[in-house]
Amino acid sequence: MDFYTNPVSPNCRKVDAVAKQLGIPLVHKQVDVLKRETQSPQFLALNPNGMVPVLVDGDVVLWESNAIQCYVASKTDNEMWPKTHHRYDIMRWQAWETAHFGAAARTLFFQRVLKRLLQQGEPDRARVEEAEAQFKRFAAVLDGALAGRRFLVNDQLTIADFCVAAPLTYVEQAKMPLAGFANVQRWRAALDEQPGWRASAPPPM
């Protein structure tokens, strides 16, 4: 399976961590986003949105990291993508991450980290304040869900954990307001013990 990726992308990390955790080989094809390689005709033929990640497996071409997570995990029988009703709970957390928690985290990452790298000026204070408020709102939801639990779904490591944790990859650099959410901090420490998660960590920025 060819995996079009960039090592600094949290969305790419979602997929890479699952593959590494399950021992599923991917052929990494690095795409330089800063050089606008995602806008080339060849790449846009794979993903018209011009974004990583993209997975190509024979005739199957998939974009959107959460769908790719599921596809990769389905290549083997495992508890990360169980064939039970817990699968729908995983999908719920994936949707929640994309729409709410991850959206706030990505805004903070863009404003405080990517803007500098892309030479697009200083952070927009109003956007940062709004994103911080949303981040705290949804971090409280996550913290409550993790009360008394090691992992999000059925107290078993699943692709939902890697999905929801991925936006926190740059929590320090983006100054995400995670202080006070003790259950989230404990959960992140538990994920750091997982070999796939450790191996998918991006290089220092």
Question: Residue 162: pLDDT above 80?
Answer: yes
Kindly report the average pLDDT of the chain as a whole number: 96
Residues 166-185: what's their mean pLDDT? Answer: 97
Percent of the chain with pLDDT over 90: 93
Phi, psi angle pair for 12, to nearest 5°: -70, -35
Q: At 192, which amino acid appears?
A: D
Nearest residue to 19 via CA among 96, 80, 110 = 80
Kindly state whether residues 52 and 93 are assigned to the same domain. no
Confidence band for 117, pLDDT divided at 50, 70 and 90: confident
**Domain span at 171:** 86-199
Q: Looking at the structure, tell me whether residues 49 and 90 fall in a common domain.
A: no
pLDDT at 139 over 90: yes
The pLDDT of residue 118 is above 90: no
Verify that 143 and 172 share a domain, yes or no.
yes
Domain for residue 12, yes or no?
Answer: yes
**Nearest one of 11, 17, 18, 16 to 33, comparing CA atoms:** 11
Residue at 80 is within a domain: no
pTM for this prediction? 0.96
Compute the distance between CA of residue 188 and CA of residue 14 in angstroms, rounded to an integer. Answer: 14
Among 38, 46, 12, 36, CA closest to 26: 12
List the Cα angle 54/174/170 in 5-degree steps: 45
Selection from 30, 45, 47, 181 nearest residue 105 by Cα: 181
With a cut of 90, say whether residue 119 has pLDDT above it: no
Query: In CATH, what number is assigned to the domain containing residue 15?
Result: 3.40.30.10
Q: What pLDDT score does 21 carry?
A: 98
Q: Domains in the chain: how many in total?
A: 2
Positive/negative CA dihedral, 38, 43, 49, 51: negative
Q: Are residues 52 and 114 in the same domain?
A: no
Q: Mark whether 38 and 130 lie in a shared domain.
A: no
Q: What is the pLDDT of residues 12-48, one digit of tens each?
A: 999 999 999 999 999 999 999 888 999 999 999 999 9
**Contact indicator for 157, 79 with CB cutoff of 8 Å:** yes
Mean pLDDT across the stretch 135-163? 98
Same domain, residue pair 91 and 124:
yes
Could you tell me if residue 50 is inside a domain?
yes
For residues 16 and 98, state if they share a domain.
Answer: no
